[in-house]
Amino acid sequence: METVSKARSHGGIQGVYRHEAETTRCPMTFAVYLPPQAESGKVPVLWYLSGLTCTHANVMDKGEYRRAAARHGVAIVAPDTSPRGPDVPDEPDNWQFGCGAGFYVDATQAPYDRNYRMWSYVTEELPALVAREFPVDMERQGIFGHSMGGHGALTIALRHPERFRSCSAFAPIVQPSTAGWSKPALTKYLGADEAAWRRHDATALIEDGHRFPEFLVDQGTADSFLNEGLRPWLLEEACQKAGIGLTLNMREGYDHSYFFISTFMDDHIAWAAERLR
């Protein structure tokens, strides 16, 4: 593992790191914020999954999470959203697919199956590396994310309820199997058989019997993607039928940007920290 940069912030350390990933077969860069409490022992860890077109840097630069993370003594890990490099297949003119748009799945279709294995990367390889290299308590993990990353957080928590104590999301894609900006990507990554998509669709996972104790979701009412891509009411309906707790906050006038995310970041970290104690 290579240290790209380190900086002191709110008494802790914001670092950026790079390593050769076996799952994605390319170098992967990720960010870790260690709160000051990590100097004296292991701290709980909160995974943040970013959205379409993003890298680890978006939330690190614009998410404004370090003050709250330091206050609550929680480490924040921000992976990249996809494999990258000259040998990684891409559609440069399509921001909804390819580099920056891995959708947190393990692709089964050529040529994407060689590199686009983000599910295995964020659930297996990177956690093993983080547990080995940083003072984090892997018995106290939470996960959250934005948009495509919200989709990833929900599906990972539903399929690994024994691992995570908290899950929340900002403007998540709750039903990617029918959303206009994710359905084409799932087809290219996973093939035309929609039955294979259900393992990466939060509402379908709930319908199929997967459970998680509770979710927190914040969604802006002025989000231009609300009605076509996000549709949080579908998650609300699925959770109500399954008896899963859902706090859904519709935030009047907020859009899809990091201005929205940073406004409610403290709430999500405090909510997670309470469950990670």
Peptide bond before 111: cis, by omega within 30 degrees of 0? yes
Answer yes or no: are the C-beta atoms of 190 and 107 closer than 8 Å. yes
Give catalytic status of residue 61 as yes or no.
no
Which residues, 6+ apart, have CB-to-CB distance to 66 below 8 Å?
9, 10, 12, 14, 33, 76
Residue written as tokens 């000259």? 86
Give catalytic status of residue 147 as yes or no.
yes
Spatial separation of the C-alpha atoms in residues 138 and 163, rounded to whole Å: 8
- State the amino acid at position 103 in one-letter form: F
100 Cα distance to chain centroid: 13
Which residues, 6+ apart, have CB-to-CB distance to 132 below 8 Å?
none
Of 109, 84, 90, nearest to 25 (Cα)? 84
Give catalytic status of residue 210 as yes or no.
no
**232 HSE (CA, 13 A, CB side):** 24
Which residue is catalytic, options 80, 106, 218, 223?
223
Which residue is catalytic, options 56, 72, 200, 256?
256
Which residue is catalytic, options 50, 147, 177, 182?
147
Sequence length of the chain is 277
Answer yes or no: are the C-beta atoms of 144 and 153 closer than 8 Å. yes
Q: Report in angstroms the alpha-carbon separations of 266 from 26, 68, 89, 114, 202.
A: 33, 6, 37, 38, 24
Contacts 24+ apart (CB under 8 A), 89-97: 89/114, 89/115, 95/52, 95/53, 96/52, 96/181, 96/182, 96/184, 96/185, 97/184, 97/185, 97/188
- Supply the residues annotated as catalytic: 147, 223, 256
